Amino acid sequence: GAVVSQHPSWVICKSGTSVKIECRSLDFQATTMFWYRQFPKQSLMLMATSNEGSKATYEQGVEKDKFLINHASLTLSTLTVTSAHPEDSSFYICSATSGPSSYNEQFFGPGTRLTVL
């Protein structure tokens, strides 16, 4: 149980285009999903927290107009990188939690490698 998937696993795009990454909880309802960014050999940096049906909460320094997050259902959240540039190239990882009763546990997806040319 507690499986989180991401799609695509990797994507290459041209500078200026937009890329959408999907995060799905496969066997549980995710009241909260998180989006992280990870640079090579570095730790996970929380970008935003998203609750189903409400606007995402972005961490300081993360541009909400550039990283659009939608959490339309209890099993799906999407991250859209708009007008991508080479500096947006990174490993993007989502995680999900089923709510307070789960007592903090987060289940992570396998990540999406984004390369912007």
Partner 1 sequence: GENVEQHPSTLSVQEGDSAVIKCTYSDSASNYFPWYKQELGKGPQLIIDIRSNVGEKKDQRIAVTLNKTAKHFSLHITETQPEDSAVYFCAASRVNNFNKFYFGSGTKLNVKP
Binding site for partner 1 (CB under 8 A): 4, 6, 32, 34, 41-44, 46, 49, 57, 91, 93, 95, 97, 100, 103-111, 113
CB of 19 to partner 1, least distance (A): 18
Q: Which is nearer to partner 1, 64 or 83 (CB)?
A: 64
Task: Compute the chain's Rg from CA coordinates.
Answer: 13
Length of the chain: 117
CB of 63 to partner 1, least distance (A): 19
Instruction: Using DSSP bridges, classify how beta strands 44-51 and 57-58 pair: parallel, antiparallel or unpaired.
Output: antiparallel
71, 86 contact by CB (below 8 A): no
CB of 16 to partner 1, least distance (A): 26
CA dihedral 10, 11, 12, 14 (to 10 degrees): -160
**Which 8-state DSSP code applies to residue 15?**
T
CB of 89 to partner 1, least distance (A): 14
